[in-house]
Amino acid sequence: MLILPTRRQVLGGLSATALGLGSSGAYAFVIEPRFRLALTRYALVPPGWTPGLRLRIAVLSDIHVCEPYMPLDRVAEIVAATNALAPDLILLLGDYPAGRKVTWKPVPLSDFARVAEGLHAPLGTYAALGNHDWWDDREAMRAGKGPVEIRRLLEARGIPVLENDALRLTHEGHPFWVAGLADQEPFLPLGIRRSLADIPATLAQVTDDAPVLLMAHEPDIFVKVPRRVSLTLSGHTHGGQIRVLGYSPMLPSRFGQRFAYGHVVEEGRHLIVSGGLGVSGVGVRFGVPPEIVLIELGEGAASA
């Protein structure tokens, strides 16, 4: 399902075409990454899910705020489109700043946090951090400890950031847990391959048998996620940014196509990988448009 473009988006797209940029290359470098916005829906009853618990979750990942690909007005459009879905809960999966390779003009993260504050859901908005959140904050990265700047900014706007934390929520009398892992690649630009994600410490905070939703920016850690977790949510891959016939030529994953994109089920464990919203590395998207993910969990959801 596609979210209808605004008048500004349509005019922007028509202007690009009028300038002779209507080729497939221009589409990949201009139209799809900057002007398209898709809604991707999933409906399932994951293992260990409480009977009677119906939950509607909006997931935003890899926003990568910057000019020209993700300016503040584009973020505001995404916020408005997300709120219009009337989710019970909103989860942000990390990577809020963009990399230097695609940033023509930086957008202050304080301004991004101000716009993100506009996200509204009855159960709240919660966030995890990604690799770019560390890489953008060189001081925190070199010090080897957080919190990184974006964490302070989001929490000041009422969006809790979960790093190896678990939080118990209740919806219509049914409890469940939202957990978030710390990033798995925070020091990679320094040549240090050390993950901060700690699954045992995170799940040790879960004190009952209510279902657990786990935010993990990079999906590779899914191989270590136990069955106790009902659903893992990840981003990071961007679906490869280029995806043709279900294949992504370039992926930031040790497992190739295994966790590239979409709903993955392995040994009864469930993972959903978002294609994300922004770009990094190179300003291109083809076959994997920026997406808001809407997940409906619970009995009857599979036929919704």
Q: How far apart are CA 283 and CA 210, in angstroms?
A: 41
Whether residue 25 lies inside any domain: the answer is: no
pLDDT, tens digit, for every residue of 113-167?
Answer: 999 999 999 999 999 999 999 999 999 999 987 789 999 999 999 999 999 999 9
| CA nearest neighbour of 87 among 298, 294, 230 | 294
pLDDT for res 15? 41
Whether residue 248 lies inside any domain: the answer is: yes
Higher model confidence: residue 297 or residue 16?
Answer: 297
pLDDT for res 302? 52
Q: How far apart are CA 152 and CA 225, in angstroms?
A: 28
Whether residue 116 lies inside any domain: the answer is: yes
In degrees and rounded to multiples of 5, residue 283 shows phi and psi of -85, 70
- CA R_g for the chain: 18
Contact assessment for residue 299 and residue 262, using Cβ atoms and an 8 Å cutoff: no
Residue 213: domain span:
38-303
Whether residue 267 lies inside any domain: the answer is: yes
pLDDT for res 2? 43
pLDDT, the chain, mean: 92
Whether residue 18 lies inside any domain: the answer is: no
Q: What is the pTM of this model?
A: 0.91
The DSSP bridge pattern shows strands 269-273 and 231-234 to be parallel
Q: What is the mean pLDDT of residues 68-89?
A: 98
Whether residue 26 lies inside any domain: the answer is: no
Q: How many domains does the chain have?
A: 1
pLDDT for res 37? 98
What is the distance, to the nearest Å, from the Cα of residue 101 to the centroid of all Cα atoms in its chain?
Answer: 20
Burial class, 270, CB count within 10 angstroms (exposed 0-12 / middle 13-18 / buried 19+):
buried
The answer, yes or no, to whether residue 42 has pLDDT greater than 90, is: yes
The answer, yes or no, to whether residue 22 has pLDDT greater than 60, is: no
Q: How far apart are CA 269 and CA 259, in angstroms?
A: 13
pLDDT for res 73? 98
Least confident of 4-8, 217-221, 279-283: 4-8
CATH number of residue 201's parent domain:
3.60.21.10
28: DSSP letter: I
Whether residue 10 lies inside any domain: the answer is: no
Q: How far apart are CA 121 and CA 124, in angstroms?
A: 5
Partner residues linked to 89 by β-bridges = 57
Q: How far apart are CA 59 and CA 49, in angstroms?
A: 19
Q: What SS3 state is found at 30? A: helix
* pLDDT band (50, 70, 90) for residue 23: low
The answer, yes or no, to whether residue 24 has pLDDT greater than 90, is: no
pLDDT, tens digit, for every residue of 183-234?
Answer: 999 999 999 999 999 999 999 999 999 999 999 999 999 999 999 999 999 9
Contact assessment for residue 280 and residue 102, using Cβ atoms and an 8 Å cutoff: yes
* pLDDT band (50, 70, 90) for residue 14: very low
The answer, yes or no, to whether residue 4 has pLDDT greater than 80, is: no
In degrees and rounded to multiples of 5, residue 190 shows phi and psi of -90, 5
